[in-house]
């Protein structure tokens, strides 16, 4: 949620920033400012009325105590009006502030100045490309054939047990998952991230805290009986651990990492995009979350980007980094770098990580603050990224590293997998 004072201070800047997302926010902003003015105006009136009531109540107490019953009774009569008035004003205040919040919730985050205006993925800016496209053997196959051929994943079995998009990893396929998870966690903790295993279901409040609600309501699995949501990413439980907290600036940057399965309904997806491991309802991901001060958040973002890049290089995968355009960025993000690995057999780029700075957008909802050197409370900046999401990494590993006699496992994984090559 955007901070109201930023809109008050410079609405034109906000409107111009949101224009990068191809959103004309003029009307909404005006409505917000109107509600804000109503709210403040009403509060002044209400506060004055309540102050008067309080004064009278105190007076009546004194009068009773000193035995002046009649005067007390007379004063009592006066309070009736004030009471009705304050009740009305209270309602008006609630209406105005609810309206303001409701409108604020509809606005996405304002993009960072480096973000270009754009409508869709074509407008994203490629900022870096690393590694060469591999030359594959003549009979190279897409990963969904390799997984069957080498007995790594059984998609049909998953369909039987649950449904499409819920694969069963088998044998060395399962071992490879576990190897990647451990490798990622080890790298992240070595880089200073504290490891957590959070709950895989969250309550409604957490959904709002990180902005999945109300924006992505339909994309999460919801357990109506207990009103809990299956997490779409570890970002949700991890970031929400810090909800309603005033953290110490001395602890910055607060770096957390967690492996969790992620659950996404992916309503509306179809076709070749969802084939094999490209898009799943349940998948594994290791997430990194960073909480820091506004002054340092972009330096932290760069560090996170470098960290993720290093992982991909160690896995010997060609990748590129995109700075997302306004229209392709997530609702809550101010600046997002997407990492895509080249899937050689499919001959397409696959997104494997998304590293974002949310600035104060999440912290505002979360009420996540820190005490600055000025002794005042300020909203923190929150950032997160995948380090990394497994399925597409596996897809690219299998496809890019396929050789005549099997699939080569990158060296960094050998101690984790216990095998160096997946052969038939």
Partner RNA sequence: GGUGAGGUGGGUGAGUGGCUGAAACCACCAGUUUGCUAAACUGGCGUACGUGCAAGCGUACCGGGGGUUCGAAUCCCCCUCUCACCGCCA
Subset of 357-396 contacting RNA (CB under 7 A): 369, 371, 377
Closest CA to 262 of 389, 146, 392: 389
For RNA, which is the closer residue by CB, 94 or 420?
94
**Whose CA is closest to 287, among 198, 390, 385?**
385
Q: Which of 26, 34, 79, 182 binds RNA (CB under 7 A)?
A: 79
Binder among 64, 200, 221, 419 for RNA (CB under 7 A): 64
Question: At residue 406, what are phi and psi to the nearest 5 degrees?
Answer: 145, -165
Told to check if 214 binds RNA by CB under 7 A, we report no
Under the binding rule (CB under 7 A), the answer on residue 76 touching RNA is yes
247 binds RNA (CB under 7 A): no
Is there binding between residue 54 and RNA (CB under 7 A)?
yes
Q: Say whether residue 95 binds RNA (CB under 7 A).
A: no
216 is a contact residue toward RNA (CB under 7 A): no
Q: Minimum distance between the CB of residue 254 and RNA, rounded to whole angstroms?
A: 17
Dihedral sign computed on CA atoms, order 33, 34, 37, 38: negative
Give yes or no for a contact between 158 and 276, defined as CB atoms under 8 angstroms apart: no
Establish if 159 lies at the interface with RNA (CB under 7 A).
no
Is there binding between residue 9 and RNA (CB under 7 A)?
A: no
> Least distance (Å) from RNA to the CB of residue 178?
20
Please name which of 269, 270, 238, 236 lies closest in space to residue 255, comparing C-alpha atoms.
238
Distance CA 336, CA 326 (A): 9
Tokens of 308: 């993720």
Per DSSP, the residues of 76-138 read HHHHHHHHHHHHHHHHHHHHHHHHHHHHHHHSPPPPPTTPPP-SSGGGPEEEEEESPPPPPPT
Q: Which of 34, 53, 182, 293 binds RNA (CB under 7 A)?
A: 53
| From 10, 24, 30, 47, residue interacting with RNA (rule: CB under 7 A) | 47
User: Per rule CB under 7 A, is residue 43 in the interface with RNA?
Assistant: yes
- Rounded Cα distance, 330 and 326, in Å: 9
Residues forming contacts to RNA in the complex (CB under 7 A) are 4, 36, 39-40, 43-44, 46-48, 50-51, 53-58, 60-61, 64, 76, 79-80, 83, 246, 369, 371, 377
């Amino acid at each position: 949620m955007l901070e109201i004072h930023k809109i008050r201070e410079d609405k034109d800047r906000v409107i111009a920033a949101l224009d990068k997302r191809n959103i004309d926010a003029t009307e909404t902003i005006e409505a917000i400012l109107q509600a804000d003015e109503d709210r403040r105006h009403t509060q002044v009136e209400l506060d004055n009325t309540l102050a008067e009531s309080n004064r009278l109540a105190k007076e009546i107490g004194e009068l009773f105590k000193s035995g002046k019953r009649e005067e007390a009774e007379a004063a009592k009569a006066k309070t009736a009006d004030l009471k009705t008035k304050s009740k009305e004003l209270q309602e008006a205040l609630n209406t105005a502030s609810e309206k303001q919040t409701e409108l604020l919730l509809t606005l996405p985050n304002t993009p960072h100045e480096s973000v270009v205006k754009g409508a869709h993925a074509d407008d994203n800016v490629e900022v870096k490309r690393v590694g060469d496209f591999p030359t594959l053997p003549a009979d190279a196959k897409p990963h969904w054939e390799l997984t069957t051929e080498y007995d790594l994943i059984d998609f049909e079995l998953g369909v039987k047990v649950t449904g499409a998009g819920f694969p069963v990893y088998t044998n060395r396929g399962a071992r490879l998952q576990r190897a990647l998870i451990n490798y990622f966690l080890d790298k992240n903790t070595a880089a200073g991230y504290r490891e957590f295993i959070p709950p895989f279901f969250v309550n409604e409040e957490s959904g709002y805290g990180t902005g999945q609600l109300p924006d992505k309501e339909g994309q999460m699995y919801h357990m109506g009986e207990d009103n809990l949501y299956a997490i779409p990413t570890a970002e949700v439980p991890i970031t929400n651990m810090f909800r309603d907290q005033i953290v110490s600036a001395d602890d910055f940057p607060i770096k957390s990492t967690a492996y969790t399965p992620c659950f996404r309904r992916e309503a509306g997806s179809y076709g070749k995009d969802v084939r094999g491991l490209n898009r799943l309802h349940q998948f594994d991901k290791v997430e990194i979350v960073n909480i820091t001060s506004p002054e340092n958040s972009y330096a932290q973002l760069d560090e996170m980007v470098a960290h993720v890049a290093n992982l991909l290089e160690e896995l010997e995968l060609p990748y590129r980094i995109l700075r997302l355009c306004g229209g392709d960025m997530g609702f809550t993000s101010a600046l997002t770098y997407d990492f895509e690995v080249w899937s050689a057999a499919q001959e397409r780029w696959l997104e494997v990580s998304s590293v974002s700075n949310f600035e104060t957008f999440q912290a505002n909802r979360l009420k996540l603050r820190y005490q600055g050197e000025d002794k005042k409370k300020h909203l923190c900046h929150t950032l997160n990224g995948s380090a990394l999401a497994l399925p597409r990494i596996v897809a690219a590993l299998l496809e890019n590293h396929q050789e005549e006699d099997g699939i080569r496992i990158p060296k960094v994984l050998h101690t984790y997998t216990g095998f160096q090559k997946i052969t038939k």
